[in-house]
Amino acid sequence: MNSTLNGEDCELTIMPHALDDVVSCSETVYVTGEHIPATNNPSARGALGTMPAVHEALVRLILVLPIFATFKEPVISFLRQRESGGGGGMGRPLGAGNGSAPFFIFGDSLLDAGNNDYLNVSFKANRWPYGETFFHNATGRFCNGRIPPDFIAENANLPFIKPYLEPNFSDYTDGANFASGGAGVLPQTLEGALYLELQVSLFAEMTERLKQQKGDSDAQKLISRGVYHIGMGGNDYIHLATDSLDDNATISPHDKEAFVHWVMGNLTTSINRLYRLGGRKFSFQNVAPIGCLPGSRYRTGTGGCLNDLNILAEMHNEALSELLAGLEKDLSGFNYVLFDYYKTLLDRIVNCTEFGFEVGETACCGSGTYNGEWTCGVTGDHFTLCRKPKEYVFFDPAHPTEEVSRQLSELMWSGEPPVMRPGNLKSLFEEP
């Protein structure tokens, strides 16, 4: 490995066969492990695949949903026929339950604890320097350390919740993580990732396993006590807006409204299914200011935020608030809390020093303007790595650092309106 220090950043060029190289870029010593070749390197579009023009995309949504519904079960069977091996999402050992409510997580790379490591998808965080700050090796988390589910689990007196696809994982007493990096609410957002309805189908599979292990009555009690955290949607809008940008097209207000409507329709279907399966206590985080991510700023060429992306996020967030209020009225026993992820993250981007950070717009790891190119840790690519991730809001072009995750998780746990409403996760976990 060749490395040079350049001011506050550590300039790195990863060589294809470098093993056990050590680079001291900060107070933390980073060590590379076994070389894993990178395939289909994600571009600055955030590891999102290609998509047709706006109008064609909307038409395809109607056509693709029945197809995915038809093949859903074979896909699940394929996922479960995986080889045994070491897990990628472990923190502390999973305990046998301590009286706390189990924790079930559904989402994208902001919440993925390692499921993508076991999928045939190129968008993975299975390489150095991901995970180095806390785990000292890559665990599949798209962060330098812990992510929100880890901090929430700690607050709830739970062990770190394992990714459901981790080989040999079968004790679901404390919960399971179904989140998948790059996934969306819609099936075609990233081919090979676990879109939301497929995550719910895997949860349904898990409930059957629980019934076999514990009996119907005890399994149902555990499921009804569980807290169900859902954070998803950003990738769907990133697909739409970045493909429009590539085509030098604009997204009309009507198309924005129609697309948000389709996303919310699919989200509603998945929430209702979780409710029918026994879920009653739900936690949601709305969509981030995705137009102001380092990867989005890189795309603009001017350093500003992508306005269309932020508009879509704001439309989604408003629709989500209305949806949850409606579900609370329509579904008996449905209880929810909603975290304003958009505002809390944007506050830290714009006013980073007020929250203890030095850099709000540029990622710690990456290349290009704002480190917005997806080269962090990719073998054979040149990228920069900051000395102190704790001083940065973003670790890579789209994902917050561990310190941001810690701060936002504390707000989720004990925050008050308007950031967390109508209650918070602490109150949700304490409910019988």
Looking at residue 361, its pLDDT comes to: 97
Segment 386-407 shows an average pLDDT of 98
Looking at residue 379, its pLDDT comes to: 78
- Each residue of 279-291: pLDDT tens digit? 999 999 999 999 9
Residue 363 pLDDT > 60: yes
Q: How confident is the model at residue 248 (pLDDT cuts 50, 70, 90)?
A: low
Contacts (Cβ under 8 Å, ≥6 apart) of 369: 297, 298, 301, 303
Give the whole-number percent of the chain exceeding pLDDT 90.
72
Strand partners, 359: 392
d(C-alpha 83, C-alpha 103), whole Å: 26
Residue 92 pLDDT > 70: no
**What is the secondary structure of 69-93 as a DSSP string?**
HHHHHHHHHHHHS------SS-SSP
Residue 409 pLDDT > 70: yes
Looking at residue 64, its pLDDT comes to: 38
Residue 351 pLDDT > 60: yes
**What is the secondary structure of 302-363 as a DSSP string?**
SSS--HHHHHHHHHHHHHHHHHHHHHHHHSTT-EEEEE-HHHHHHHHHHTGGGGT-SBSSS-
Q: How confident is the model at residue 246 (pLDDT cuts 50, 70, 90)?
A: low
In contact, 186 and 195? CB cutoff 8 Å: yes
Active site residues per annotation = 109, 396, 399
Residue 208 pLDDT > 80: yes
In contact, 161 and 149? CB cutoff 8 Å: yes
In contact, 129 and 30? CB cutoff 8 Å: yes
Tokens 């948000």 correspond to: 260
Region for residue 131 given its phi and psi (left: phi exceeds 0; alpha: psi -120 to 50; beta: otherwise): left
Q: Which residue has the higher pLDDT, 60 or 388?
A: 388
Q: How confident is the model at residue 98 (pLDDT cuts 50, 70, 90)?
A: low
Looking at residue 404, its pLDDT comes to: 98
Segment 364-374 shows an average pLDDT of 96
Segment 5-31 shows an average pLDDT of 33
CA-based torsion, 192, 196, 198, 199: positive or negative: positive
The amino acid sitting at 41 is: N
Residue 259 pLDDT > 90: yes
Q: How confident is the model at residue 245 (pLDDT cuts 50, 70, 90)?
A: low
- Each residue of 292-330: pLDDT tens digit? 999 999 998 888 999 999 999 999 999 999 999 999 999
Looking at residue 102, its pLDDT comes to: 98
Q: Average model confidence (pLDDT) for the chain?
A: 82
d(C-alpha 386, C-alpha 345), whole Å: 20
Residue 412 pLDDT > 50: yes
Both tokens of 418, joined, read 């308007």
Q: Angle at which helices 196-214 and 216-225 pack, to 10 degrees?
A: 140
- Each residue of 119-148: pLDDT tens digit? 999 999 999 999 999 999 999 999 999 999
Q: Regarding beta strands 281-285 and 227-231, do their DSSP bridges make them parallel or antiparallel, or are they unpaired?
A: parallel
